[in-house]
Amino acid sequence: MKHVFLKRALGSALSLLGLVVLVFFLSRLTGDPTALYLPIDASMESREQFRELHGLNDPILMQFGHYATDLLQGDFGESIRRSAPALDVVLEAFSWTLQLAAITMVLVISAAIIVGSLAAFHVGGLFDRIATFFSLVGASAPDFWIAIVAIVVFSVGLGWVPTSGTGSILHWILPIAVLFIRPFGLIVQVVRGSMISALGSAYVKTAKAKGIKNRSIIFVHALRNAMLPVITVAGDQAAALLNGAVVIETIFGFPGVGKLMIDSIMQRDFTVVLAAIMVTALAIFIMNLLIDIVYAILDPRIRY
């Protein structure tokens, strides 16, 4: 297992390096920050001083060399827009995204396991047909469209919840609800398929013959053996929430790392863009590593 983890770590480090190089050079194509941060009638001397202050006067390869050297020393640079360490700005925003993703995934996994297991136990029945229909619709619906419709109906039309912000619990309802729908639909289908296979196995038939209650058969005997594919999909969806909440955070004005990334690109705050990319990529790597560990716990064969 140690060799597997080391290979994963090396592969992730190389991927992160390539991502940093790519983003560094592509971000420079968005334009000169002086056009945003200085007045239109600013003198050339002022523009040169601004570029010199933020290390933008050097050739781009030299800029990358300076950035890489600072990065190896743990210095992610300073935000042009906020005049604060870029890493601090990103970690503050990332904490909001992490809370949003964690709450959503706890609700998604809990609900999907219950609904998918019951649908598999009553396969072909009314509950199974209803669960399958709504899960397929949820898995197919685009997040941005659901978000816009939700704002129009529940915020503008009915006035039940705010359209944006994080001031109260009500502000969290729509972002969580919108992010809930797609992973819930996907995981319900995976749980249902895995549970149908598990419930048809010999050990479950033996448990039924012994008179064990249906609840124990579903959630104790069958579920453990059906969890491996569920964990795979759940891990992918959790990573997608961290990596793909950009649209939802932007639509709802949620102060997460996705919205920060979009704002920083538009405002040419290069160091924040790079720090956000690296923090998000590192979080996804750690999440994948935890999934591997859970795999090994659930299935002893993997440990060997």
Write the CATH number for 174.
1.10.3720.10
From the list 100, 81, 104, 99, the residue with the least C-alpha distance to 261 is 81
| Torsion sign, CA atoms 204, 205, 211, 213 | positive
Q: Which domain holds residue 140?
A: 86-303
Are 227 and 179 found together in one domain? yes
Q: Give the DSSP H/E element, type plus range, for residue 190.
A: helix 169-199
Using the predicted structure, report yes or no on whether residue 304 has a pLDDT greater than 60. Answer: no
From the list 175, 178, 153, the residue with the least C-alpha distance to 164 is 175
Q: Does residue 79 form part of some domain? A: no
Q: Does residue 78 form part of some domain? A: no
- Using pLDDT thresholds of 50, 70 and 90, give the confidence band for residue 198: confident
- Using pLDDT thresholds of 50, 70 and 90, give the confidence band for residue 168: confident
Are 173 and 254 found together in one domain? yes
HSE of 128, CA atoms in CB hemisphere, 13 A: 14
Are 47 and 189 found together in one domain? no
Are 140 and 51 found together in one domain? no
All residues at 6 or more sequence positions from 182 whose CB lies less than 8 Å from its CB, including other chains: 138, 139, 141, 143, 237
Are 61 and 168 found together in one domain? no
Q: Does residue 192 form part of some domain? A: yes
Cut 0.85: pTM above it: no
Are 125 and 231 found together in one domain? yes
Domain boundary among 24, 39, 72: 72
**Tens digit of each residue's pLDDT (9 = 90 or more) over 279-290:** 888 888 887 777
Distances (CA, A) of 195 to 11, 102, 217, 235, 288: 33, 25, 11, 18, 24
**Tens digit of each residue's pLDDT (9 = 90 or more) over 208-225:** 666 666 666 666 666 667
Distance CA 112, CA 255 (A): 28
All residues at 6 or more sequence positions from 258 whose CB lies less than 8 Å from its CB, including other chains: 97, 244, 245, 246, 247, 248, 249, 250
Are 40 and 180 found together in one domain? no
From the list 198, 284, 280, the residue with the least C-alpha distance to 238 is 284
| More confident call, 11 vs 187 | 187
**Domains held by the chain: number:** 2
